[in-house]
Structure 1
Amino acid sequence: MNTYLHQKFNTSISKFLTHNSIQSLLIAISGGQDSLCLIKLLETFRKYHNKLLKITYIYVDHQWKKDSYHQIKHLINIIKNYESQIIIYQLKNITKSEVEARKYRYQIIIQYANLYNYSTILTGHTKTDKIETFWQQILRGTSLDGITSLKEYRKLKNKIYIYRPLLKFDRQEIYWFCRKFYLSIWSDITNYEYKITRNRLRHELIPYIYRYFTQNAESKICQFINISNLDNEYIKQNAIKLYLISRHTTNIALNYKFICQQHQALQIKTLQIFFFTTLTYA
C-alpha cells in the first residue's frame, strides 16, 4: 500500500498535523469516490504512521435519493471495518438547491466540531472540484475572492480550520486509486441531474472546452487560480493596513478623505473589512 498517492498524501498530512499540533480530525464524507479515497488514505496513514490520531467521520444526508437509507448503511459498514466512529445527520427540510444544501451541511458540521472541540474539518475536495468551482463562480460574476475560494487550508469562525488534503489530486488519479484497491463506490444518481448547475458544468461545458479548445485547460486554469490567489492576498494585506491606518481611535468610523485617495480595489476591500469587523457580516 505504498502508491505515489499514498506518498503524496502522507507527506502533506504529516506536515499539516505536525505544524498545527493536531491529534483529532473531523472528516466530512459522502459515498463517492473522493470520500472513499480520503477514508482509505487516512486509515492507512493512521495504521502505519500515527496510531494515536483520533478520526471521526460525519455524513449529512439531504434525502435527495430514494436509496439514501441504503447508502447510509453502506457507509456505516465501511467505517466499521476501520473501527472508527461515524456520525449521521438527516435533514428534515429537503431542498434541491445546491447552495442551500451546502449551507445547511456546513452549518451542521461546524456546529458538531464546536460542540465536541474539533479544531480541524477535512473534506474530500479535489483539483477537479477546484476547477468546477472556478467555472461556477465565473458564471455568477464573482470577484478574486470567489475564484480562489476553494483553498487547501482555510480558517473559519471560532478557530475552526478546513483542510482539503486531496486538492492536488485530480479525479482520474482518485478513480485509479479506487479501482486499484476495489473501493466500493456508491453510485449517486443525483450526479446526473442536469437541474444541478455543477452537473451540467461537469458533463457538458468542461468536456466541451477540453475537446474543442485545449486539452490542458485544467493545468492552465489552476495556474490562473494560483496567480489570482497571490494577487488577492496582496490586495487583502494592503487593505488591512489601510483599514488599521484609517479607522477612528474611538468611534466606529473611517477616514473618508484618506480612503478616497487610494485605488478603488483597496477602497472596496477596506469597506468589506470594516463591515465584517464592525457588524460581523461578510
Structure 2
Amino acid sequence: MPHTNLFLNLPPSCDPAEPVLLAISGGRDSVALLHLLREAGFTQLILCHLNHGLRGDESIGDAAFVRRLAKKYGLKCEIETEDVAALAEKSRVSTETAARDARHALLLRMAEKYDVWVVLLAHHAEDQAETILANLCRGTGLAGLAGMHAVQRLDTGLHLVRPLLHVRRKAIDSYLKSKRFKFREDSSNTSPKHRRNRLRHEALPLLNDIFARDVVPQVLRLGSLAEQDDDALQRQALAFLTAEGSVKEDRSLLVTPELLALHPAVSSRVFAVWLREAWELPGIEHDVIEAAMEMLAPDGAAKINLPGDKHLRRKAKRMWVE
C-alpha cells in the first residue's frame, strides 16, 4: 500500500494540479509532508521558509537545505529572515508567539504574491496532543480543547490545512527511514527552556507511565469530542444571531426574552461572535464575554470597557459598541 494512502488527509479543495503553499522548516515533519505530497502528484508546491534568526549557523543551514530541496524538485521557493527575538521583545510576547506570528505574516505575503490561499502545515498527532494539554492547563474552553483544526480559515483569508494531524510521529520516522530521506535536526527541540518540549519529553511520557498506556489517542479523542460539541454550540449561536429581530441594521444587539432565555453556553458564543464579527473587534477573550453577559442582569452595568479603547453600552433593550 502506498505511503500516501497511509498518511495524507486532504480536503477536496486541495487539488494536486493547483498551486499550494507549503510551510517547510527543513525538519522531519515538513520534509516528510513534502515527499508525501510529491508522491500524491502535487507538482506546483511553493516552499515557504522563515529563518527565525534564533540558532545562528544552524538556522542558515536550514534555509540552505530547503533551497536545495526546491532546486532538486523544480519547485518555487520563498525564504525570508526575521529577528524573532527582537520582535518578541518589541511586541511583549513569548518567542513562540512571535515566531508563529512571523510565520503567518510570511505566509500571508506569499498568498498575496501568488494569489494562492491554501497553506499546508505538517503538524501531527503528538503536536495535537501537546496543544490540547497546553490549552487545558491555561484554563481553556471547548474551542481550546479541540486543539488545532485539520482545516482552519484565518481572518486574513488563509486556509491552513494539516494533512498529518492524526498521524503519529513514529509513523513519520518510519516513512523517512524507509525512503532514506534526509532532513534537518533542530537542536532547540530538546531544550527544556521551551514549554512544549517539556510537554513532549516529560509530561506525556509521565502520563503514559501513570496510566500504563499510550495516552495520546485518548487526548486526541477528547479533542475530537470537544470540537464536535463546540461546533454544535457555535451553530446555535449563529442561528440566533441570524434570526430576524436579533441584530438591527446598525449592528446593535436587541435584548429580547429569547436572548435572556439562552443557555450560558450559547449566549456566551452569541456575544463572542457578535463582537468579533459584527463589530470586527480583536482581543475578545473570556473575561470580556463574561462581563458582557453580566450586563444582561437587571442590575448589570450599563457600560464596560472593550479592547482598543472601545466600550460596550446597554440602554433599555439594546446593546451596541462605541
Instruction: Give the ranges of 4+ consecutive aligned residues of structure 1 lying more than 4 Å apart after TM superposition.
Output: none
**Any unmatched runs of 5+ in structure 2?**
89-93, 283-322
Counterpart Cα distance in 2 of 1:156 and 1:77: 30
Decide whether aligned partners of structure 1 residues 148 and 14 sit closer, same or farther in structure 2, where only a CA change above 3 A counts. Answer: closer
Which of 62, 85, 106 is the equivalent residue of 1:71? 62
Letter in 2 for 1:117: D
Aligned to 1:268: 268
Aligned to 1:135: 133
Deviation at 1:9, TM superposition (A): 4.0
Which of 56, 79, 93 is the equivalent residue of 2:46? 56
Counterpart Cα distance in 2 of 1:262 and 1:45: 47
Decide whether aligned partners of structure 1 residues 261 and 13 sit closer, same or farther in structure 2, where only a CA change above 3 A counts. Answer: closer
Aligned to 1:17: 14
Which of 224, 227, 239 is the equivalent residue of 2:225? 227
Quote the sequence identity (%).
21
Structure 2 residue 33 is matched with structure 1 residue 38: yes
136-145 vs 209-218, greater mean Cα deviation: 209-218
Counterpart Cα distance in 1 of 2:96 and 2:222: 26
Q: CA-atom RMSD, angstroms?
A: 2.0
Taking the TM superposition and a 5 Å limit, the aligned residue runs for 1:91-130 are 91-94=82-85, 95=88, 97-130=95-128
Counterpart Cα distance in 2 of 1:142 and 1:196: 20
Judge conservation of contact 1:26–1:55 (CA < 8 Å) in 2: yes
Deviation at 1:209, TM superposition (A): 0.3
Judge conservation of contact 2:131–2:148 (CA < 8 Å) in 1: yes
Letter in 2 for 1:248: V
Deviation at 1:195, TM superposition (A): 1.5
Judge conservation of contact 2:248–2:254 (CA < 8 Å) in 1: no
Aligned to 2:295: none
Secondary structure at 1:270 match in 2: helix
Judge conservation of contact 2:54–2:83 (CA < 8 Å) in 1: no
67-76 vs 204-213, greater mean Cα deviation: 67-76
**Any unmatched runs of 5+ in structure 1?**
none
Aligned to 1:81: 72
Letter in 2 for 1:236: Q
Letter in 1 for 2:24: I
Aligned to 2:316: none
Letter in 1 for 2:52: H
Counterpart Cα distance in 2 of 1:166 and 1:202: 17
Aligned to 1:277: 277
Aligned to 1:197: 195
135-144 vs 209-218, greater mean Cα deviation: 209-218
Letter in 2 for 1:82: Y
Counterpart Cα distance in 2 of 1:83 and 1:279: 45
Counterpart Cα distance in 1 of 2:83 and 2:101: 15
Letter in 2 for 1:38: L
Deviations 1:4-27 (A, max 9, x none): x322346x4484435xx9711000
Counterpart Cα distance in 2 of 1:214 and 1:221: 15
Deviations 1:111-130 (A, max 9, x none): 32123201200000111111
Compare the two structures and name the one with the higher helix fraction.
Answer: 1
Which of 27, 34, 59 is the equivalent residue of 2:22? 27
Counterpart Cα distance in 2 of 1:184 and 1:280: 45
- Report the TM-score when normalising by structure 2: 0.79
Letter in 2 for 1:78: L
Q: Give the number of the structure with larger relative contact order, counting CA–CA contacts within 8 Å between residues 6 or more apart.
A: 1
Secondary structure at 1:17 match in 2: coil
Aligned to 1:249: 248
Letter in 2 for 1:31: G
- Report the TM-score when normalising by structure 1: 0.90
Structure 2 residue 175 is matched with structure 1 residue 174: no
Counterpart Cα distance in 1 of 2:4 and 2:239: 41
